Structure 1
Amino acid sequence: MAPTHKVAVVTGAGRGIGRAVAARLAEDGYHVVAADRDADGARESAEAIRGSGGQAEALALDVTDRTAVLNAFAELRQRLGRVDALVNNAMWITYAPLVDFDEDTVDGMFGIGVKAAIWTMQAAVPLMRAQGGGAIVNLSSPAAVRSVPGGALYAAVKGAVTSLTLQSAGELGRDGIRVNAVMPGSVPTDGARAVVDDAGFRLRMSRTPVGRLGRPEDIAAAVAFLLSPDAAFVSGHVLAADGGFLVT
């Protein structure tokens, strides 16, 4: 059965910021496709949304697999009829000195951080064009423009995502497709805690003017704004939701 609301696809929706984004978009009236390569995480996110009265479904998807992504969006188009919003949130992070990164790590981070965003945009854009428009939000990072210890590879990935966002906004605007990005500040999700210790979070909080770390809901609110009618004239923008970190 086709959804009664607009459709939003959120990658990396199984936990953390992605789960919060999925929940917020459901609150805003979207039928949410919670996509994650962790099928259980995707299912739990979708179930939580439905339990709160929203519309959602789980999609087990490896976004690094271009064929799988194209097939998944083709199935969504056939079954749901449209994709109005795409949020590229999926990411895998590891920190290390620049000289220590091996080829598997580089390929892995660029695969999920950059190539996956390209694949999902390639899949979503024809649908959006056919329906007269849509909106895309990519997740960048302050690391794209600020030095982070051990973050050379992460910075390269998020720098690429930022450039992809700006270039795509220029290319797709005439099709009625807006493309923006959010730069989240430090948010102590389970995934972030796997690579940043307590001392690292204390350092990040000391450099955040508002005096606290971020919450997944803070980032979800920024994403929701960029997808909303209130941002109808906003495209090619990178919104820092970082508590002022970039100005320190």
Structure 2
Amino acid sequence: MSPASSAGAALVTGAGRGIGRATAERLARDGLRVVVADRDEESAARVSEGITSGGGCAEALCLDVTDRDAVRGAVQDVVTRHGRLAVVVNNAMWIRYKPFLDFTEDDIDGMLAVGLKAVFWTMQAAIAAMSEQGGGVIVNVSSPAAWRGMPGTAVYSAVKGAVTSLTRQASRELGPLGIRVNAVVPGAIPTEGARQIVDEAGYDLRRQMTPLARLGSPEEIAAGIAWLASEDASYVTGHLLAVDGGILAS
């Protein structure tokens, strides 16, 4: 599969582990120079080193996506050094699951900061660069929780619902600039981070909810993101690609 551009960089946030890591690895295999962005500097470095040792092009970036100025500066630096920002993947998220009445202001502020405001900051920075270069691709990460609520996911559902709406809105506004904006909708993916907040009983429930009767892998989500970022999807924008084992169809 050809990447979105034969030259240029892909910035992946939250790329130190899980879906972000798999996405960085996949985009590197597709020929892009990947900027592995994560607030955990050591995790970003490990992923970057793994990619380069395998023959890909990557570099680590310690980045707090909630810092608008830092995001803007990071994107400008990538463009200055590499000439083209071909793809941005907004994967970073901070999650808390609780009963509705137990959510605190800190919980809500934290999830909104990483899950929604940071998506705005990254998109704003990317738009400035991509509009000057004649286009690019932005891929956001939504969730079935934007459509199907589960106990404890009130804030997560609200955040991902907002990301879903933003994706569709931005596709209309940015299309004339040559910028495609889509989102992937992952199903139940037992990543390292997810296992810290979802126990085996929770994953058993998710298996039962999934028509394919199994959990997904980060690599399967990365494949969907890679397709949205590729020339094969050059006429696709405003799309929500469910890679969920059929959860949304059930």
TM over 0.5: yes
**1:179 is matched with which residue?**
181
**2:85 is matched with which residue?**
83
**2:12 is matched with which residue?**
10
Write the deviation string for residues 161-206 of structure 1: whole angstroms up to 9, x where unpaired.
0011000000000000000000100000010001100000011011
Q: Which has the higher contact order (CA 8 A, sep 6+)?
A: 2
C-alpha deviation, 1:5, in angstroms: 3.0
Once residues 10 and 188 of structure 1 are traced to their aligned partners in structure 2, the CA distance between those partners, rounded to angstroms, is 20
**1:73 is matched with which residue?**
75
C-alpha deviation, 1:47, in angstroms: 0.5
Once residues 44 and 51 of structure 1 are traced to their aligned partners in structure 2, the CA distance between those partners, rounded to angstroms, is 10
Is residue 11–residue 34 contact of structure 2 (8 Å, CA) maintained in 1? Answer: yes
**2:58 is matched with which residue?**
56
Q: CA RMSD in A?
A: 0.8
Once residues 203 and 106 of structure 1 are traced to their aligned partners in structure 2, the CA distance between those partners, rounded to angstroms, is 25
Is residue 9–residue 78 contact of structure 2 (8 Å, CA) maintained in 1? Answer: no
User: Identity of counterpart residues, as a percentage?
Assistant: 60
Once residues 17 and 76 of structure 1 are traced to their aligned partners in structure 2, the CA distance between those partners, rounded to angstroms, is 22
Per the normalisation by structure 2, the TM-score is: 0.97
Amino acid at match of 2:163: V
**1:141 is matched with which residue?**
143
**2:113 is matched with which residue?**
111
Amino acid at match of 2:85: V
Residue aligned with 1:54, SS: coil
Residues 1:232 and 2:234 are matched in the alignment? yes
Write the deviation string for residues 134-162 of structure 1: whole angstroms up to 9, x where unpaired.
00000000000101110010000000100
Of residues 4-13 and 153-162 in structure 1, the stretch that sits farther from structure 2 once superposed is 4-13
Once residues 31 and 12 of structure 1 are traced to their aligned partners in structure 2, the CA distance between those partners, rounded to angstroms, is 16
Is residue 186–residue 201 contact of structure 1 (8 Å, CA) maintained in 2? Answer: yes
Once residues 5 and 132 of structure 1 are traced to their aligned partners in structure 2, the CA distance between those partners, rounded to angstroms, is 14
Deviation >3 Å, runs of 4+? none
Once residues 140 and 107 of structure 2 are traced to their aligned partners in structure 1, the CA distance between those partners, rounded to angstroms, is 21
Once residues 214 and 126 of structure 1 are traced to their aligned partners in structure 2, the CA distance between those partners, rounded to angstroms, is 35
Please list every run of 5 or more consecutive structure 2 residues that lacks an aligned counterpart in the other structure.
1-5
Once residues 188 and 121 of structure 1 are traced to their aligned partners in structure 2, the CA distance between those partners, rounded to angstroms, is 27
Amino acid at match of 1:62: D
Residue aligned with 1:123, SS: helix
C-alpha deviation, 1:58, in angstroms: 0.4
One of 207, 210, 219 as aligned partner of 1:217 = 219
Is residue 6–residue 29 contact of structure 1 (8 Å, CA) maintained in 2? Answer: no
Once residues 60 and 140 of structure 1 are traced to their aligned partners in structure 2, the CA distance between those partners, rounded to angstroms, is 23
Once residues 12 and 208 of structure 2 are traced to their aligned partners in structure 1, the CA distance between those partners, rounded to angstroms, is 31
Please list every run of 5 or more consecutive structure 1 residues that lacks an aligned counterpart in the other structure.
none
C-alpha deviation, 1:207, in angstroms: 1.2
Once residues 119 and 140 of structure 2 are traced to their aligned partners in structure 1, the CA distance between those partners, rounded to angstroms, is 8
C-alpha deviation, 1:6, in angstroms: 2.2
Residue aligned with 2:137, SS: strand
Per the normalisation by structure 1, the TM-score is: 0.97
Residues 1:36 and 2:41 are matched in the alignment? no
Once residues 146 and 188 of structure 1 are traced to their aligned partners in structure 2, the CA distance between those partners, rounded to angstroms, is 19
User: Number of matched residues?
Assistant: 245
C-alpha deviation, 1:106, in angstroms: 0.4
